[in-house]
Structure 1
Amino acid sequence: MKEVIQVEEQYYILATSDRAAGCQRVLKEGETFAIFDCHGDIQPVGLGEQGIFHEGTRFLSNLDLRFAGARPLLLGSTLNKNNELLAVDLMNPDYFINGRQVRRDSVHIFRTKFIWKGRCYEQLRLTNFSLEPVEVPFSIGFGADFSDIFEVRGTKREERGVLLPTKVTEDSALLSYEGLDGVTRMTRIDFAPAPDMLAPSEAHYCPVLKPKESVTYNITVTCNCQHCTKILADTYEQTLSEVHGSLASSNKSYCDIVTDDTHFNTLLARSQSDLIMMTTTTSSGPYPYAGVPWFSTPFGRDGIITALEMLWVNPDIARGVLTFLAKTQADSLDTGSDAEPGKILHEARQGEMAALREIPFGAYYGSVDSTPLFVVLAGAYYERTADREFLARIWPNVLRALDWIDTYGDADGDGFVEYARHSSNGLVQQGWKDSDDSVFHADGTLAEAPIAICEVQGYVYDAKVRASEMAVALGDPGRAADLQEQARLLRQKFHEAFWCEDLSFYALALDGNKRPCRVRASNAGHCLYSGIASPEHAKHISSHLLSDIFYTGWGVRTIASNEKRYNPMSYHNGSIWPHDNALIAAGLGKFGFSSEAVAVLQGIYDASLAMDLHRLPELFCGFKRRGDFSPILYPVACAPQSWAAASVYMLLMSCMGLSILAEKNQICFIHPVLPPFLNEVIIRNLSITAKSSADVVLKRYENDVTVSVIRKQGPVEIVIVK
């Protein structure tokens, strides 16, 4: 079980035991997500993360289906391919009633669930497959602790609000909690038909089923219920039909990718379904929330990188991310939230603890990379779509972000962007590796702030190059030339300060005394992606990243195995992150290291074959691949995680050498290659603009990949460089 203990790292996710035995099932829609066990129950076991959550609060913490007091026997449990429907097949356990034994396998229980607009809809269908009438006593236990997600993660609170008495009618139960923030949060559970007996924490039924007879029950959980209407018995089917329609519409915004490898097709389908599930429609458009359970909320860095990974597949996500982050861009100084004018959001949280500022993450700006990455995404989106009208709309936000880079980001004026937290309870490390021990020197001592990490300088370089291109598009050649010169000078200065000749690698960071952290870390792979690396340096870095100290057979570790703090079971010091590998592969492809990019894709693909539902998790352990054994999972990794799900698109793009230049109406394939497990890739409805698209086929032969166009609509030019 999970217990609360004091730890040095303030926002460490406690794991005092394993996850619950067997699988877990995740549903999400909008601001609501749920984690069930394989039975479809919610149990206080494992890490204690099961429940139905809405806007940062757990609105249901217990759900327990029992037959004659015992758990039913599990037959099967799965999500459908679109992720919207959980289906669980169960059968009754052996039980005695009125002096008669009812054998197991007499009653089949088909349990389905989905989430829509703050509600969890569940349907139970019981079917008697025995030859005699069967009395089936069953109960549904329920409860709500209304814990904030940070409490579930393990953060200890000095005080909590008050759980109010449960109000029960003949067919509903209303559970309530009065928070310290003055907000009363309510969960309503509706039962149809009404139970034979409904108590404050349990509903009881006892139907008698004739042979082959079926009976159906509906249970609906409404989160944040204040004046919610009663759920009718026929609502389940009507609402599920609405869900199907919404998903069909979401799928249309993606291009269609089919290969000759069934497993890779499954990985692509799961990734797309995960991304659709994780994407929440905000007032600014679609935004991919980061991950379930701990990060189901908008994160600036995560949203931007997810959008970059899938930009060629679905540029609508990038537009939504840019719109949301422009709207939430900081406009004043606030040390409590690490906000500075022009800075881009790190994360936004709802819930009681955020409202009370017990945590600083209501609207928190403590990331050093979100701001330059915002500019990078703006430029990449324009290159992909040629949407000049949208670019003009967010251009003031781009300029404010550039101003932050040059002023607050480079507070000491040395030409590099550094970070140091200003909030007393903010994040110590503010790059993507944000655990407290992730930036260190070769002897293992932690770097002191302010810290300039290598990949951020690359992001800034890329931001200025892309901003220069955007300035040209908007008719400002003077600014464009100035930005190009700034990028050139930064690249030169970066090589002088970060390159470690004896390591043949970029230093992980410069500490507050400008001493290089002489550590080989995957961060340097991001310097390939951004283009700040020189071709000569890129050659050395690629060689290291695919050597045994980094490459495990499953992917590239976050730090080399010969570094002082290397630990393959750690969060950031030796683990494997799919999104990290995707950015590395994109960087390798950019510098012409196609075979190395293929190796990265091969490793991540092979790892996915062993993952539940073929779902790539946030991270997994960085142990070396051992024969035909599976990769080692990380115990508190989020799954699904948006930038992990989107990584497969960037990995494939990197191997194909694919880019889309919308202003020229070009789809480009530069030195395309395919991994050994793919002989054919068909991409349909690959759009350039709303009026132009193409269907293309890539085929691999022994030493060559051909690209064929099977359909064109509008002005499309296919450019192939071999």
Structure 2
Amino acid sequence: MNYRVIKENDLFFLTDESGDIPENHPYGPGLYTKDTRFLSKFDLLINNEKPILLSSQADKSYYAEMLLTNPHIEKEGEVELWRESIEIKRKRFIYKEVLYEEIIVKNYNPKRTAFNLSIHLDADFKDMFIVRGFQNGKTGVKEKTDVSREGMKLNYIGADEVKRELSVNWNLGPSRTSSEGDVYFDFNLEHDEEATLVLNMAPSVNQEKPQILPYGEAFNELMTSYAAWNETLTKVETNHKPLQKLVDRGLGDMKVLLTDLGYGKFPVAGLPWFGVPFGRDSLIAALQMLPFNPEVAEGTLKTMAAHQGTKKDSWRDEEPGKIMHEMRFGELANTGQIPFTPYYGTIDATPLFLVLLGEYLKWTGNFSLFTELEENVENALTWINQYGDRDGDEFVEYHQEASKGIANQGWKDSGDSMVHRNGDLAETPIALSEVQGYVYHAKQSMAEVYHLLDKEDKAAGLKKQAQELERKFEESFWMEDQQYYALALDKEKEQVGTITSNPGHVLFSEMLSKEKAEIVSERLVSKKMFSGYGIRTMAEEEAGYNPMSYHNGTVWPHDNSLIILGMSKTKNQRQAVKAMEGLINSSFHFEYDRLPELFCGYNSEKPVIAYPVACSPQAWAAGTPLLFVQSILGLFPDALKKQITINPMLPKNVDYLKVENMKIHKGTLDLVVRRTEERCETEVLKNTTGCETVMNDQIVKN
């Protein structure tokens, strides 16, 4: 990872490995909030020379530390600063929408040494879409920079008439400043003496300025918030260190990616470019978090419900009842130059909204949330039947209407992802296989809820619709010659027969027969689909296959996680374990034991080959090892029936897996699974959930 990024709530800071923001860097580094770059230049120099990087730590996405030193500096034959005389340590974090940086300088020269540090700041206040080169448009005016001995203010009035400001303050009196954003600090230190420069950078929108705390106090508050978060989580312990590291990293990254827009915490999609609400990504990441912290699902559902579509608006692909795809807050969105306020061009977020709610109820039994969201539920179901099913054939299809929207509106949303076996691109409207599974899952879940609420007409209607969808899916998507399901149906209702990972998502919905679920599971871990490191998005030898392609041959951890969970649920644990073992082995090749958004789909005879541009950390990649835990345990609670099903299978090298404080229904569950000579032994250590534990073909100790 050749950049460093830290985030807290709605503010993130992206720099190079030295901690600087070099101008014209391809990643577009900067300090961002509300889709606006509030800092576009940030250089640290010593005696006007760039320091030498010694180390750069980014194992924590909420805190970064860089260690630097000075180069050898001579002027007119005289030594001005001997090489490696000064140690420069940069420590930074974000708390309550303020960036804090501590720069500690220490003199290792035997004699007293004078030198200066200078920082060089600027802010272009560019919209995220302009920074990324996706869009240009009408923008506002940058005003004069105000500089004083105490700090600096950079100001901007946007085309949306929003006032944006960055306030920068420092604890030491500078020796020199300029209106161009140059600030110099002089030091004169004895041997082994050190001094500390503290910077605070606070963005504000329309004068809503955050409170700035002392550096130490802010850091302690941040650590306290992380300690409180950790107390809410299910605890996992295993002898297999690679799995333990993946789970710990996933939980840490998920905390960093949480944001609250006023409806509760939810995971944004990923850093650096997708630190905003994403319907599909946020919903799936919250689903992955259910075994560890169900409250994340509650915040996610409320956030999505608050922005549910209310009208027909082709500019934004909005329709009544539809759940959003992506929401942006920058200048271009506010002035209507891009349709992301929010944009609704996704076919799967609406059924996934209902799937997450149904699974949340099975974990918690919290009917009060359903009552609060019941109108949103009914609107989502109406959208599925009236707008999602465009032609009344029982299948939900997508078709782009927004001129600046997205053409392919499933999770594989790149332009070449919907490809026939002969290499031709499929034309919309397109009905995706996995989306039909989501719809089936959603209708079955909501039917069960309505039944428990004695709303039998609604329950029976949804049950009938789900059964008809199951029948038609089998009839229309099954490819007898391939013994597999089609990727999709195109506008002519012809099968898009390319062999892909998409039908694997249908396993979790339980729409497939036992026989077909086993066939699909086996195909997914076959040589052409399984790279050795994970399940590919597309099988080798297909016309569209490319191991470097974004969606046509790479390995996506989140894609694997949903498939693995479905395999576990349908009792195809052997295949689930094979896929998990591949991904666990892949993690050895990634920095900080972090699964990336995706990686190339080459066979495991080679080391893992990274995808050139991938978000890291990324929410549903962070959530992938969390679903490993649930899948290994084969644990599927149903608080509505007051029952917890457990059917474990341990991967290779995992001799035991212990979970504690897993929140289900009215209490918590603690259990451990151990490997014996012939099978797994499961012991329930504590159960205050109010649910009965049901084991399948395992030894159980209560």
Match among 213, 218, 229 for residue 193 of structure 2: 213
Contact 1:253/1:316 (8 A) holds in 2: no
> Which one of the candidate residues 675, 681, 686 is aligned to 1:706?
681
Question: Would you say the 8 A contact 2:137–2:337 is kept in 1?
Answer: no
Q: Secondary structure at the match of 2:644?
A: strand
Give the total of aligned pairs.
695
Amino acid of the residue matched to residue 661 of structure 2? N
- The aligned counterpart of 2:625 is 648
Match of 2:360 among 381, 385, 389: 381
SS in structure 2 at match of 1:239: helix
Q: Does residue 668 of the first structure (1) align with residue 645 of the second (2)?
A: yes
- Cα distance in 2 for residues equivalent to 1:521 and 1:270: 29
Moved more, 357-366 or 154-163: 154-163
How do 1:164-179 and structure 2 match up within 5 A?
Answer: 164-179=143-158
Cα shift at 1:655:
2.4
1:716 Cα offset (Å): 5.0
Alignment of 1:88 onto 2:63: no
Cα offset for 1:201?
2.2
Q: Given that residues 163 and 207 in structure 2 are in contact (C-alpha distance below 8 angstroms), is that contact kept between their aligned partners in structure 1?
A: no
Residues 505-524 of structure 1: pairs in structure 2 closer than 5 A: 505-524=484-503
Q: How far, CA to CA, are the matches of 2:511 and 2:652 in structure 1? A: 31
Q: Please list, as runs of the form range in 1=range in 2, the aligned pairs for 1:396-407 lying within 5 A after superposition.
A: 396-407=375-386
Match of 2:700 in 1: none
Residue type matched to 2:9 in 1? G
Report the Cα offset of residue 121 of structure 1: 0.6
Partner-residue secondary structure (3-state), 1:206: strand
- Residues 41-83 of structure 1 deviation map (CA, whole Å, 9 limit, x = unaligned): 11235523211111101111111111123222222221355x3
Answering whether residue 319 of structure 2 is matched by residue 335 of structure 1, we say: no
Which residues of 2 match residues 126-525 of structure 1 at below 5 A?
Answer: 126-199=105-178, 200-224=180-204, 227=207, 235-525=214-504
**Mapped partners of 2:137, 2:442: distance in 1:** 44
Please tell me the residue identity of whatever aligns with 2:569.
K
Task: Give, in whole Å, the separation in 2 of the partners of 1:313 and 1:230.
Answer: 31
Contact 1:388/1:473 (<8 A) preserved: no
TM-score, normalised relative to structure 2: 0.96
Contact 2:407 2:415 in 1 (8 A): yes
Residue 259 (structure 1) shift: 1.2
Contact 1:188 1:225 in 2 (8 A): no
User: Which of these residues, 662, 678, 682, is aligned with residue 686 of structure 1?
Assistant: 662
Partner of 1:7: none
* Aligned-pair CA distance for 1:129: 2.4
Question: Conserved in 2, the CA contact under 8 Å of 1:692 and 1:716?
Answer: no
The 2-side partners of 1:120 and 1:149 are apart by 19
CA offsets, 1:218-270, max 9 Å, x none? 111111266577987x7111111111122222222211112112232222111
| Partner SS, residue 710 of structure 1 | strand
Shift of residue 598 of structure 1? Answer: 0.7
Q: Determine if contact 2:137/2:332 at 8 Å carries over to the other structure.
A: no
> Which whole-Å CA distance do the structure 2 matches of 1:584 and 1:479 have between them?
30
Distance 1:353 1:678 in 2: 50
Q: Partners of 1:555 and 1:35 in 2: how far apart? A: 30
Tell me, what secondary structure is at the counterpart of 1:314?
coil
1:550 pairs, out of 508, 512, 529, with: 529
- Quote the Cα distance in structure 2 between the aligned partners of 1:705 and 1:92: 58
Query: 2: CA distance between counterparts of 1:564 and 1:531?
Result: 30
Deviation digits for residues 553-575 of structure 1 (CA, Å, limit 9, x no counterpart): 11111111211111111111111
Counterpart position of 1:4: none
Three-state SS of the structure 2 residue aligned to 1:703 is: coil
- The answer on 1:26 being equivalent to 2:2 is no
Alpha-carbon distance in 1 for matches of 2:504, 2:689: 37
Q: Is the 8 A contact 1:187 1:222 kept in 2?
A: yes
CA distance in 1, matches of 2:332, 2:504: 37
Per-residue displacement from partner, 1:688-721 (whole Å, max 9, x unpaired)?
A: 23x4212211112343111112334464533221
CA distance in 1, matches of 2:25, 2:513: 48
SS of equivalent residue, structure 1 residue 459:
helix
RMSD: 1.9
Q: Distance in 2 between matches of 1:142 and 1:397?
A: 46
Structure-2 separation of matches of 1:558 and 1:357: 35
Structure 2: gaps of 5 or more residues: 698-702
User: Which has the higher mean CA deviation after the structures are superposed, 24-33 or 95-104?
Assistant: 95-104
Q: Given that residues 392 and 474 in structure 1 are in contact (C-alpha distance below 8 angstroms), is that contact kept between their aligned partners in structure 2?
A: no
Name the structure 2 match of 1:12: none
Which position in structure 1 is the counterpart of 2:611?
Answer: 634
Does the Cα contact within 8 Å between 1:171 and 1:198 map onto a contact in 2? no
The residue that corresponds to 2:553 in the other structure is: 574
Query: What is the identity, as a one-letter code, of the residue corresponding to 2:413?
Result: D
Determine if contact 1:190/1:231 at 8 Å carries over to the other structure.
no
Does the 8 A contact of 2:71 with 2:83 survive in 1?
A: yes
**What is the rounded CA distance, in whole Å, between the counterparts of 1:419 and 1:712 in structure 2?**
45
Tell me how far 1:160 sits from its aligned partner. Answer: 3.3
Q: 1:129 to 1:230 in 2, by over 3 A?
A: farther
- CA shift for structure 1 position 651: 2.3
Q: What secondary structure does 1:309 align onto?
A: helix
**CA distance in 2: counterparts of 1:303 and 1:434, whole angstroms:** 16
Distance change >3 Å, CA 45–CA 658, structure 1 → 2: farther
CA contact (8 A) 2:204 2:210 kept: no
1:487 & 1:546 partners in 2: Cα distance?
28
| One-letter code aligned to 2:71 | P
Equivalent position of 1:721 in the other structure: 696
Q: Tell which deviates more after alignment, 448-457 or 189-198.
A: 189-198
Which secondary structure does the structure 2 equivalent of 1:408 belong to? helix
User: Post-superposition, which runs of at least 4 consecutive aligned residues in structure 1 deviate over 6 A?
Assistant: 228-232
Q: Which segment drifts farther, 427-436 or 603-612?
A: 603-612
Partners of 1:190 and 1:230 within 8 A in 2? no
- 1:695 aligns with one of 670, 682, 695: 670
1:493: Cα distance to partner?
0.6
Q: Which residue of 1 aligns with 2:47?
A: 68
Measured against aligned partners, the alpha-carbon deviations of 1:381-402 in whole angstroms (never above 9, x if no partner) come to: 1111111122222122111111
Residue by residue, what CA displacement relative to the aligned partner does 1:263-320 show, whole Å, maximum 9, x if unpaired?
3222211111110110112211111111112211001111111111121111111111
How far apart, in 1, do the equivalents of 2:660 and 2:386 lie? 45
- Aligned-residue sequence identity (percent) comes to 38
1:14 maps to: none
Farther-moved stretch of structure 1 (494-503 vs 384-393): 384-393
Residue aligning to 2:593: 614
The CA distance in 1 between the partners of 2:677 and 2:34, in whole Å, is: 52
**Cα deviation, residue 517, structure 1:** 0.7
Is 1:596 aligned to 2:571, yes or no?
no
Structure 1 residues 713 and 519: alpha-carbon distance in aligned structure 2, compared to 1, 3 A threshold: same
| Deviation of 1:469 (Å) | 0.8
